[in-house]
Structure 1
């Protein structure tokens, strides 16, 4: 009971830390919110009974402290020239340092060295927080001081490393980590167009991640061979789980294609070279998702009865999967209706 109560308290302070950071009117206030967020997340991910969790919490703490130190250095140096209570940064080198510190905090490539290792030691619930909520404050702060030329290179590196890094992974947590790095590249590119497009992409990514991670947590799946063996009792659940992968990769009939479609239409007139690389790397991501799906259904499949539904199917699981797979059709129906 005490552990549950303390987890709720730390979760509330984690949320409030991010809100303080994004609603602050000075960089010092933003830094303070990020520190509150960090000190709230460490107790949530540390577990005295799990050595991997303790290792991940230590890695996360050291990397975030490094990023906070870099951010604080750039803020203090900026305050010497522009004053303390301003978001205005004119010096090019200070903007690069500040952008780099925020990219380290969110785990974007090439500063992703800590992200897959930390993900590997956490539970699925903490992984979901790390992949979604923990990226909100750094990304919104990045919008205030965006250096477009620098972020263009970061977008290209993110989509390349996120795609190639996930090819030979057998751990689902590392696979989701590299998938998250790939999606960070797309989210950063959406900032070039509009904050609204960033919000649409982030919400779509959060829904898809919640759908997949909820299923992994429900069936206690952590590695690829468990997907092949455990899910044979319910072909429909297996079907939904692997089609969620395709939705996360952005295959057209599913919800994951919707935010990518919007960005492709708008980035054509902005930076064609960057867009071509993003689309090509997404095809690589789809390649290993389809390869996993093909192997699960064709090579390692032992169940012959397609309609044998699992008796204890979770209703929340079905709703999330329905949203993931048929969300694009629902959006078009609503759009045509009004």
Structure 2
């Protein structure tokens, strides 16, 4: 028996709940799948010896329960209204359903809970929050498309994710606001084509996995830890900050490719104003990534040599090297593939 075999059970139920929501043919089945997903993730968040974790899991549960209750209430309400043919409800239903799904993924203007919950969890739970927990709500968002509501949400998410990340010293909150910013790009992909969103999401999952694995291995949670422990070794600084720059979308790193696709499609659709907002405020996110990297690479800090040996795990060195190689040269291989084909 595994020591934490209950985690495997809840992970299976977590994945199952997401699949039920995506594959459902009725809104009630969608709600049921979201509830299975929620109740499976709460035990994974709980740690009896960590008060911050318990507080974050409670806040996550209350927020998700609020969004689910709003969704269930209006599913029943609109079903009754449409059955009696009282009024046309498509536009109102789309906005309300989209609002509940946006609250579930922590997208602005319903983002108030997301950085707080990220701050109270470990890196692996944060990885689930940033990646897998967004799949079902984003897919369901594509079913209730409302162009003007989506554009407003995209602009607010881009602005909040960029501006609020400037003054953060906690890396978990920094990743939370970065995720809010990327949600704006993902929703822009849904405006054009669901396949574009899927490609962007796959790249975002890969980049988030790279950064989270490094931070989890080194037990980094704040910027001062990076300055204290890793300025002595250039290799460690490279492992940490080049994936950061790739996540920000700096050419020629791999993270620039999905943004490049969305920029191209937005230009073809003549969404020039939305595209300008996306580019300008994403430059702000890239600015604070560059500011952190610049400070770590060029500023000198005194430290002891044993810090490097204590935190660095040589067993993961080859994995980090492969991930770093893909981040740097991934865009080159993608362009080479399209050139050959």
Asked if these proteins are the same fold (TM beyond 0.5), I'd say yes
Q: Does 1:182 align with 2:185?
A: no
Aligned residue runs from structure 1 range 208-219, under 5 A: 208-219=207-218
CA distance in 2, matches of 1:25, 1:73: 18
> Deviation at 1:320?
1.7
CA distance in 2, matches of 1:69, 1:30: 13
> Deviation at 1:10?
0.2
Q: 1:283 to 1:101 in 2, by over 3 A?
A: same
CA distance in 2, matches of 1:143, 1:150: 13
Name the residue aligned to 1:44: 44
> Could you tell me the TM-score, scaled by structure 2's length?
0.93
CA distance in 2, matches of 1:19, 1:234: 44
The answer as to whether partners of 1:207 and 1:324 remain within 8 angstroms in 2 is no
Q: 1:10 to 1:116 in 2, by over 3 A?
A: same
Q: Does 1:282 align with 2:296?
A: no
CA distance in 2, matches of 1:82, 1:145: 16
> Deviation at 1:269?
3.2
> Deviation at 1:93?
1.8
CA distance in 2, matches of 1:3, 1:171: 31
SS of structure 1 residue aligned to 2:191: coil
Name the residue aligned to 2:192: 193
SS of structure 2 residue aligned to 1:321: helix
CA distance in 2, matches of 1:3, 1:112: 35
Q: Which runs of 5+ in 2 are unaligned?
A: none
Name the residue aligned to 1:267: 266
Name the residue aligned to 1:139: 138
- Return structure 1 stretches of 4+ with deviation > 3 angstroms: 300-303, 308-311
Name the residue aligned to 2:119: 120
The answer as to whether partners of 1:47 and 1:54 remain within 8 angstroms in 2 is yes
The answer as to whether partners of 1:56 and 1:121 remain within 8 angstroms in 2 is yes
SS of structure 2 residue aligned to 1:268: helix
The answer as to whether partners of 2:231 and 2:300 remain within 8 angstroms in 1 is no
Q: Does 1:332 align with 2:335?
A: yes
> Deviation at 1:302?
5.5
The answer as to whether partners of 1:171 and 1:223 remain within 8 angstroms in 2 is yes
Size of the aligned set, in residue pairs, is 331
Q: RMSD of aligned C-alpha atoms?
A: 2.0
> Deviation at 1:240?
2.5
Q: Which runs of 5+ in 1 are unaligned?
A: 84-88
Q: After the TM superposition, which of the residue ranges 131-140 and 263-272 deviates more from structure 2?
A: 263-272
Name the residue aligned to 1:86: none
Q: Does 1:312 align with 2:314?
A: yes
CA distance in 2, matches of 1:321, 1:231: 17
> Could you tell me the TM-score, scaled by structure 1's length?
0.94
CA distance in 1, matches of 2:265, 2:21: 29
Aligned residue runs from structure 1 range 56-75, under 5 A: 56-75=56-75
CA distance in 2, matches of 1:247, 1:313: 24
Q: 1:141 to 1:234 in 2, by over 3 A?
A: same
CA distance in 2, matches of 1:319, 1:45: 30
SS of structure 2 residue aligned to 1:144: coil
Q: 1:166 to 1:191 in 2, by over 3 A?
A: same
Q: After the TM superposition, which of the residue ranges 69-78 and 203-212 deviates more from structure 2?
A: 69-78
Q: After the TM superposition, which of the residue ranges 223-232 and 278-287 deviates more from structure 2?
A: 223-232
CA distance in 2, matches of 1:311, 1:5: 26
> Deviation at 1:166?
0.4
The answer as to whether partners of 1:116 and 1:178 remain within 8 angstroms in 2 is yes
The answer as to whether partners of 2:249 and 2:256 remain within 8 angstroms in 1 is yes
Q: Does 1:24 align with 2:43?
A: no
